[in-house]
Structure 1
Amino acid sequence: MDKSMDTQAPQQKAAALMAEKKYQAACKLLHDQLKVTPNNGSVCETLGEAYLLQQHYADAAKHFYMAKQLMPTNPNPNFQLGNIYVKLGRFEESCQFYVNALRISPNAVQVYEALAKTLVKLQAYEEAIKAYQRAIKIAPTLASLQLGLATLLIECGELEQGLVHYRMALQSKPHPIEHSAFLFAMNYRPDISASMVSDWHRDWGQLHTAHLPKYAHSNSLPAAARKVRIGLVSSDFYRHPVTYYLEPFLEHYDRSRFEIFCYSHVVKQDEVTERLKTQADHWRTISTTNIAGAVATIRQDEVDVLVDLSGQTACKLLLIFGHKPASIQVSWLGYFNTSGLESMDYLITDPHSSPAGQSVYFTEQLLYMPYNRFCYRPPEYAPEVNALPALQTGYITFGCFNNYLKLNNKVIALWATLLNAFPGSKLLLKNKAMNDAFLRKQTLANFEKYGISADRLLLEKTSPHPELLAAYSRVDIALDPFPFTGGLTTSEALWMGVPVVTLAGETLVSRQGAAFLTVINKTEWIATRKTEYVSIACALAGDLSALAGHRQSLRAQIQGSPLCDGKQFARDLQALFSGIIS
């Protein structure tokens, strides 16, 4: 009898056991078979898969190595070894296994996709783009490939090319996460109207949440007889910009009147997560449950006001709000546009971020904080403000520490105009993208197109937060990008004594910088036209005495302004919550 026939039945039984999650029984059966046929690569391969399903990576790797040697023309053992090394965080080794698999099977789309994702983890963006492009040539209609390449291109500053691939991924009925990623990317485009972006968000809400069952609400006790229950839902309860603006409220809310429930979808917790747990009255972890489970938990807690802190940055959480688990639902803090959900009742903003006439762009009714929708709590480790750098260097250093995605061609063109208008000045760009040689080279080329030579650009890698704040000691004037203006970066620049020049637009996200500057009474740094932006920056750069004065006085001004008044901010926010439940 053919020996391959002898092993077929045990492997089929093992596969059935694995389908029933009886992994130990499957492993025993396969080990017994290996005693009979010790050089059977197929059995080794199946045994490796059984161990991999149990996350026993060492045993899985051992048997995939055996299968690889016994079946040199089979790409799967190399592919699975690549997957194992990704799990172990050994990305360079995993890439080599993926390459080995592709040598055996050059059209293996799944392997190309895994290789591309791993290259992204290594920040080898140029090679990752090539891997996605090769895979798309083989399988042009596979949405996950189009989405992966779209996301990567946008992260590399290629917004228009990225959006082309997003549209291709969305040609069929889109998955909500893919659709959400598209919406998020649209906020970066400088040539899209507020009404168009609003319409796309409404489309998302209709497509993905309108059909969801909504719940009726009742509370065992009337609001007047108990504390008001506020539920905060977020995937950002860790060291994240959201927490810098959330903590002033958590530190100062009136515990005699309000009860805070935090619904955390955080996967990787840190010391900030642990601190937030002590500040809230109740902590619920929903990262390990499905949407129905999260909805049931919120309903059981009888929350009065449920607040979304993530928006389209975490669309799974928006799907929770689509079920209407609380009678009043509010969007605040973590997103900079409408949620698009008819089930979202309110959005918290301020008069400077959303001036009169902007309500038409929101599915929510706008609730206005009197000063700003943010309250900034500076970190204790922030260094002291130093003297104006230009007094030592002899030249002005402009700076921007914002996300690389915000530096579109129109931003680069305007900054090049400014650099050309102020000879000898330099521009310091510091962000995660500058870790990658390909993106640094691309950045230099983008500025070169507008006549800015490489010696006028200072490109720096990202740093731990204390070091990032310290880097402002080398910046004289901060430049706000557009239309996606800075949030936390603007607060931090101002705290470090660095004036920020911003271009205010018509959308909430394009007015964040203007809102910060208005609340600290620095409206003279707000431009409404590009020519004005250059004029403001040049005026600041041309008066070193005044610039040095701003540097030494800004921190005290911010500290004494509503932007850092956590107690008043908490009172104002409580008043909003009380108003919508009365």
Structure 2
Amino acid sequence: MNGFAAAAAAETSGNFQRARELYLQLLQTEPRNAAALHRLGVVELRLGRSGEAVALFQKSLAIAKNLEVYLDFGVAMAGLCRWDAAATVYAAALRVAPESVDARYGLALALHSQGRPQDAEPHYRRVLATHAHLGEVHNNLGVALFSLGRTAEAAEAHREAVRLDHGDSTAWGKLGVALHGLGQVGEAEAAIREAAGLAPQIVENWYNLACLLDADGRSEAAVAAGRIAVALDPAGPANWLALGNAAQAADRRQEAWRAAAAAVRLTPSDPAARNNLANALRSLGRLWDAVAEYRAALALQPDFPVAEVNLALALSILCQPEDALTVLRGLIARQPLSSDAWLRMGRVLVEAVRPDLAVAALRTAVAIAPGDPEPHADLAMASTMCDRSAQSAEACRRVLRLAPDHTAALGQLIHQQRALCDWRDLDRLEALLLQRVRDGADGVSPFELLSCDSTLADQQAAASRWAAAKSRDAIPAVRPAVSSVDRCLRVGYLSSDFREHAMGHLMVDALETHDRSRFAITAYSTGMDDGSALRRRFERSMERFVDLRRHSDADAAAAIAADGIDILIDLTGFTTFSRTAILAARPAPVQVNWLGYPGTLGASFVDYILADPAVILPGEEMFFSERVVRLPDCYQPNDRRRAIADATPSRADCGLPEDGFVFCCFNSSYKLTPALFDGWARILTAVPGSVLWLYAGNPQVAANLRREGEARGLDPRRLVFAPPLPHAEHLARHRLADLFLDTLPYNAHTTASDALWAGLPVLTRRGTAFAGRVAASLLLAVGLPELIVDGRDDYEVEAVMLARSPDRLRALREKLARNRPTCPLFDTPRFTRNLETAYRAMWDIHRSGSAPRHIAIAADGTAGPVETN
């Protein structure tokens, strides 16, 4: 056996060290033996001596241009990741052997690895032209095509790869990614799961599966896949990011935070990881920590719009609107066409109660992204705050054209059309809204159901879903231990309406008359200071008046808890500027829904609702998430000091006829309905010369109602409209009316109290829900039950009879005048003593360790349990 043969035999047997010795011996005698130089280079490569191998290949090629040497030389360069050199070598090989498939494929791989997929593609295709059975080549062609954005072609290439080799897990995985890019989620998932089944140890498959499932909204399944990915490769930051994103979507907040924190530890200089960590911290209520992480992300990448918008959101939640606006202005200065930035700016301005500026910002967002429903929806809300109901309604219609299932926009459209008395298509819209509530849709504001023909069950369902959504991010407040020596019950009143507002007029006297020897009263204001005399009166009448408007929900709850409040009463409910998340944090051991919202809050974190026997009937407790506490007379307080201007305007001053019966209704326009107006038209027709005096702060309301009146055969002059006036003057003009006609399904509440206080009888029709029974409660408490009717026909007949019976109407006025000084409705000290009895009963139940239960306060001021079916 000659020297070369002996060396080759050793190489073939795997004895590379012996082969090396023999090739070296041969080359000492034959230094230009090209074959020996080539094989020694291969042996050196096998022994991990790449540098020596490269030198030997070069020497061999200098003697003879041999294809096999080029191919092994190319492998050596690829092994060193010197793709440019590998490409040069393979190109040289093709000059020697243009038909070499190996050289062609090697060149394709080298070009692809250099980031030149467009140059690699034709070489892959040349290989496949003669060797179409090579699944690996199809797979690599697919990878190149995918990176070139030719996703459909990539998917076909990967399909061919798995057809040729069904067990190729890599090809299955790449096929899944391509199909996901095409939006074929089901097929993509099947392909990725096939890859994971064939190669469960490959982390890429689980990472891709986690991303696909998360994008498809299946967050729990995505979390499971993400956990496998991080278990297989805990050092891979992308796996932690995928797990964190899935956990965040699944509302697994602690796990999302841990995953995001792990990603940041692994790649502290990655701004995207910092942004994700900040998002996780924000969802945990750690807002200042979130702000720090957003700022860290922006320090790493100053031009990072997503982080800037998120930072503005966190600052807004922290009630730092100016800081949030500064961030957004900087972003908009660089990217004036960022719809996300303009949208967030609009939201910040809405939360800061600067609606005019919010409208301007949101109009810009709409102009930039006219096909996105969210800017239109926010524009609708901001327009409402500016009393631009027509603009709000049009924005809602645009939302519904873009997103027909947008239930919140549907509800708001209905409310704005009601506010405008624009009743076109209203019956159909309301029926659609109620059906969505009954189908379990989210996003329906419970307040918007009160004016619809909704049931107590409808209202409870909508309230429960609304409360759950509003309280989702609430962080439990830490309460101090209750002092055993402090016998004074600490009561907190939470409201956005300690100002010139209907609730303010009702509440102020009751708060002033609390027994300060037994109750310590704190007002927690979350609304604006309007500078009114009523606001100053609230501030003077409380032991403590705490302005929480600039506090975040979490900080506000923490402040209330730190004060050791025993019973917290929410006076806002689901009306404008409500802060449900404060209640959700449970800052007080006993929490009560009262006065601001006539219905259940549907929340597990509210224990009681204050009512009376007229507004919540026996047996209806099941429709209230709270336990019902019935006060003996009326659930509504009143202000005995409510001023009525001395001067009464003339009928001519108010546009009323000197003669003729004046029916009036000063309710908000959204409480008027087409069916109600039908009845009013029949009443006016039956009482010649009569007029209907209505409140209309918006000129469009008057125009619409005149049109509706004409459609019912009424002379438009029989509708007279009252403009806004200061409260004392508004009360004084009630003296010009003869009878107040109430609305249904949403009664007059404060408006009815105003009328009765001013001496004007109110005719009401009793409804089927809390909001439709308030006027009946008021009339019972003022001693005028004869003005309560149950049916539509009875209501219309009674209105006509009273208009035709001046003596009877005069007797009612005289009875109201006699009752007013002593009746329960306006006996605020009596009301407050009953209220305090209710608070004591609630507290005694809590202190005993018992669960909240229904309570009835008797006329003698004692409290007792209520038996329910």
Bin of the TM-score, shorter chain as denominator length: 0.7 to 0.9
Residues 517-541 of structure 1 deviation map (CA, whole Å, 9 limit, x = unaligned)? 1112111111011121122212221
Deviation at 1:165?
8.5
Which of 1 and 2 has higher RCO (CA within 8 Å, sep 6+)? 1
**Secondary structure of residue in 1 paired with 2:574:** helix
- CA distance, structure 2, for counterparts of residue 386 and residue 192 of structure 1: 40
Deviation at 1:352?
2.3
**What is residue 695 of structure 2 aligned with on the other side?**
430
- CA distance, structure 1, for counterparts of residue 793 and residue 362 of structure 2: 53
Residues 142-196 of structure 1 deviation map (CA, whole Å, 9 limit, x = unaligned)? 7776666454334324454665896899999988xx54xx21111111x322233
Equivalent positions of 1:37-186 (< 5 A) are: 53-54=325-326, 125-126=389-390, 128-134=392-398, 137=401, 149-157=413-421, 158=423, 160=427, 163=430, 178-179=443-444, 182-186=445-449
**Secondary structure of residue in 2 paired with 1:313:** coil
Q: Equivalent of 2:527, from 259, 266, 274?
A: 266
Q: Equivalent of 1:276, from 538, 548, 551?
A: 538
Q: Equivalent of 2:773, from 511, 536, 561?
A: 511
- CA distance, structure 1, for counterparts of residue 649 and residue 409 of structure 2: 50
**What is residue 544 of structure 1 aligned with on the other side?**
806
Q: Equivalent of 2:671, from 406, 414, 417?
A: 406
**What is residue 250 of structure 1 aligned with on the other side?**
511
- CA distance, structure 1, for counterparts of residue 595 and residue 404 of structure 2: 38
Task: Note closer, same or farther for the CA distance 1:299–1:454 as it changes in structure 2 (3 Å cut).
Answer: same
Task: Note closer, same or farther for the CA distance 1:198–1:377 as it changes in structure 2 (3 Å cut).
Answer: same
**1:440 correspondence with 2:702:** yes
CA contact (8 A) 2:527 2:577 kept: no
Equivalent positions of 1:191-202 (< 5 A) are: 191-202=453-464
**Secondary structure of residue in 2 paired with 1:221:** coil
CA contact (8 A) 1:385 1:497 kept: no
**What is residue 187 of structure 1 aligned with on the other side?**
450
CA contact (8 A) 1:149 1:165 kept: no
Paired residue type of 2:602: G
**What is residue 418 of structure 1 aligned with on the other side?**
683
Deviation at 1:89?
8.3
**What is residue 294 of structure 1 aligned with on the other side?**
556
Q: Equivalent of 1:236, from 484, 497, 504?
A: 497
Deviation at 1:241?
1.5
Deviation at 1:516?
0.9
Deviation at 1:140?
5.7
Deviation at 1:496?
1.8
Deviation at 1:387?
12
**What is residue 3 of structure 1 aligned with on the other side?**
none
Paired residue type of 2:416: L
Task: Note closer, same or farther for the CA distance 1:284–1:100 as it changes in structure 2 (3 Å cut).
Answer: closer
CA RMSD between the two structures: 4.7
CA contact (8 A) 1:321 1:344 kept: yes
**What is residue 791 of structure 2 aligned with on the other side?**
529
Equivalent positions of 1:566-581 (< 5 A) are: 566-581=828-843
Larger radius of gyration: 2
Deviation at 1:236?
1.2
Residues 69-106 of structure 1 deviation map (CA, whole Å, 9 limit, x = unaligned)? xx9xx899xx99x98999998969x879969995x997
Count of residues paired in the alignment: 529
CA contact (8 A) 1:502 1:533 kept: yes
Task: Note closer, same or farther for the CA distance 1:168–1:578 as it changes in structure 2 (3 Å cut).
Answer: closer
CA contact (8 A) 1:387 1:548 kept: no
Paired residue type of 1:232: Y
CA contact (8 A) 2:467 2:602 kept: yes
**1:305 correspondence with 2:305:** no
**What is residue 395 of structure 1 aligned with on the other side?**
660
Paired residue type of 1:273: R
- CA distance, structure 2, for counterparts of residue 85 and residue 199 of structure 1: 31
CA contact (8 A) 2:470 2:580 kept: no
Deviation at 1:20?
4.9
**1:460 correspondence with 2:722:** yes
Q: Equivalent of 1:342, from 596, 601, 604?
A: 604
Once the two structures are overlaid, the 10-residue window that deviates more, 251-260 or 266-275, is: 266-275
Paired residue type of 1:236: D
Identity of aligned residues (%): 24
CA contact (8 A) 1:387 1:551 kept: no
Task: Note closer, same or farther for the CA distance 1:95–1:229 as it changes in structure 2 (3 Å cut).
Answer: closer
Q: Equivalent of 1:226, from 487, 506, 509?
A: 487
CA contact (8 A) 2:753 2:778 kept: yes
- CA distance, structure 2, for counterparts of residue 375 and residue 150 of structure 1: 31
CA contact (8 A) 1:154 1:185 kept: no
CA contact (8 A) 2:415 2:670 kept: no
Deviation at 1:403?
0.8
Deviation at 1:329?
1.5
CA contact (8 A) 1:144 1:169 kept: no
Once the two structures are overlaid, the 10-residue window that deviates more, 402-411 or 413-422, is: 413-422
**What is residue 849 of structure 2 aligned with on the other side?**
none
Task: Note closer, same or farther for the CA distance 1:283–1:165 as it changes in structure 2 (3 Å cut).
Answer: farther
CA contact (8 A) 1:154 1:162 kept: no
CA contact (8 A) 2:600 2:626 kept: yes
**What is residue 37 of structure 1 aligned with on the other side?**
none
Task: Note closer, same or farther for the CA distance 1:254–1:243 as it changes in structure 2 (3 Å cut).
Answer: same
Residues 294-317 of structure 1 deviation map (CA, whole Å, 9 limit, x = unaligned)? 221222111111111111115853
Deviation at 1:125?
4.1
CA contact (8 A) 1:252 1:567 kept: yes
**What is residue 760 of structure 2 aligned with on the other side?**
498
Paired residue type of 1:299: A
Residues 270-294 of structure 1 deviation map (CA, whole Å, 9 limit, x = unaligned)? 3322321221222222222222212
- TM-score, normalised to structure 2, is 0.52
Q: What residue ranges of structure 1 are gaps of 5+ in the alignment?
A: 1-18, 24-49
